[in-house]
Amino acid sequence: MVQENEVVMLLLGVGMLIFILANRKRLDLPSIGLLLAGYYLLLAGWLLTVLEGLFWGETLNLVEHSFYAASAVLNAAWCWRVFGCQGAGR
């Protein structure tokens, strides 16, 4: 069963995706690929959250959480790259 807040969140996420893609060249953060990959996985999780309410609930829920986990790991990796190994000495 699809919940409204999940759909709203997905829509907001897609809107964000469009914003990011529109300003992709200006996003010159270090290791931006990690950060954006984390966001893309998160957005995929939001999509799966909506989809699991329609079909394959168990499976998609597992995949959704897997994506969340991967996104968190990528975020942690980005923080490590930005603030951990390089930014510590500066």
Partner 1 sequence: MINSVSLLDLVSLLAALLALALLARGWRHALGQDARWLMAAILALTCFRNFSNFIEWSGLSAAFDNLEDYLQLLWPILWGSFFYVFLRGRAEQDLLDSQARYRSLFEDAPIPLWEEDFSEVKRYLDGLRASGVSDLRVYLADHPEALGRCIRLIKVLDVNRATLALLQAESKEALIHGLEAILGQEASEVFTNELIALYEGQTRFNAQTTHRSLAGAQLHVEVSLHIAPAYHDTWSEVFLSIVDVTSQVQTRQALWQANLIIENSPVVLFRWRAEQGWPVELVSEKVRQFGYTPEEFLSGAVLYADIVHPDDLERVQREVRAHADSGVDSFHQEYRILTRDGQARWLDDHTSIERGADGVITHYHGVVLDITDRKQLERETQERRSYLESILACAPDAIVTSDMQHRLVEWNAGAEKLFGYSQEEALGRKIDELITGGDAKAFAEATSWSQRIENGQAVPSTETVRYRKDGSAVNVIVSAAPILSGEESFGVVAIYTDITERKRAEREREVLQRLAWELTAPLTLKDMVKRLAVHCRQLFAHDSFRFDLYDEQQGLRTPVYAEDTPADGYESVDIETQGEAQAPQIIRAVFENRAVLVNRESEGVADGLSPWGFSSRRSRSMMFVPVRWQERCIAVIYTHSYTPGRYEQRDLELLQMIADQCGPALARVQAIEALHASESRYRMLFEHTHDAVFITGMDERLLAVNQKAADLLGYSLDEMVGMPARQVISPREYVENQKKRLAVLAGEYLPAYERLFCRKDGREIPVEISVSLVYDADGAPAYIQSIARDITERKQREEEVRRLNAELEHRVIERTAQLEAANKELEAFAYSVSHDLRAPLRAMDGFSRILIDEYASQVPPGAQDYLQRVRNNAQRMGRLIEDLLAFSRLGRQELVKKYLQPGKLVQQVLEELEEEHKDRNVEIAIADLPPCFADPASLRQVYANLLGNAFKFTRTREAARIEVGFEQKEGETIYFVRDNGVGFDMAYADKLFGVFQRLHQVGEYEGTGVGLAIVQRIVHRHSGRVWAVAEEGKGAAFYFTLEEKSHGA
Closest CB to partner 1 among residues 54, 69: 69
**Binding string, 10-49, against partner 1, x = CB under 8 A?**
--xx-xx--xx--x--xxxx---------x--xx--x---
32-52 vs 57-79: helix axis angle to the nearest 10?
160
CA distances from residue 72 to 26, 32, 78, 89 in whole angstroms, order as listed: 24, 15, 10, 25
**DSSP letter at 34?**
H
Residues that bind partner 1 (CB under 8 A): 3, 5, 8-9, 12-13, 15-16, 19-20, 23, 26-29, 39, 42-43, 46, 61-62, 65-66, 68-69, 71-73, 75-76, 78-80, 82-84, 87-88, 90
